[in-house]
Amino acid sequence: MLNPIYMETVVKQLPVNAEGYLLDATLWTPEWANEVARSYGITLTDKHFDVLNWLRKKQAEGVALTIRKVGASGIVDIKQFYELFPGGPLKVSSKIAGIPKPVSCI
């Protein structure tokens, strides 16, 4: 699982795990985020980046991220979160934010 594979992007190759999550959150760049978002059919806006930065900040603080916490962040409500990152918002946004896959059930 943890054998790094390399993600082919026009921006920069960054090591990701088998599921595509960035192995080292500090390597993250907005350009890389754009590239990953594009593979999900998402074009990142400022609102997206507000959420991504919030996720990165909270993850760095050691907070276990949940959809409920994102909804209470004051940046987006839960409905907007689902709209911004369709197809599983917490997983998709975490991948784009370059942080590990969330382990929450709620």
Partner 1 sequence: MIDTLDKPVTLGNALPATKNEKKLKRMLIICSKGKLEDVYAALVLANGALMEGLEAKMFFTFFGLEAITKKKADHLHTATVGNPAFMPGMPTMVAGLPGFEAFASYMMMKEMDKLDIPHVTEFLQMIEAGGGEIFACKLAADMFHLKKEDFLPEVKDIITVGDMYALADGEGTQIIFI
Which candidate in 10, 103, 105, 106 is catalytic?
105
Whether the CB-CB separation of 56 and 25 falls below 8 Å is answered with yes
Shortest reach from residue 56's CB to partner 1, in Å: 19
Shortest reach from residue 39's CB to partner 1, in Å: 5
CA 87 to chain CA mean position, Å: 13
Q: Under the rule (CB under 8 A), what is the footprint of partner 1?
A: 5-8, 16, 18-20, 36, 39-40, 66-69, 71, 77-79, 82, 86-92, 105-106
Q: What's the CA angle centered on 32, arms 31 and 34, to 5 degrees?
A: 65
Which one, 67 or 75, has the nearer CB to partner 1?
67
Dist. CA 15–CA 4, nearest whole Å:
6
Which one, 6 or 74, has the nearer CB to partner 1?
6
Dist. CA 26–CA 99, nearest whole Å:
9
Active site residue 99: no
- Within 8 A by CB and 6+ apart from 74, the residues are none
Shortest reach from residue 69's CB to partner 1, in Å: 8
As annotated, the active-site residues are 105
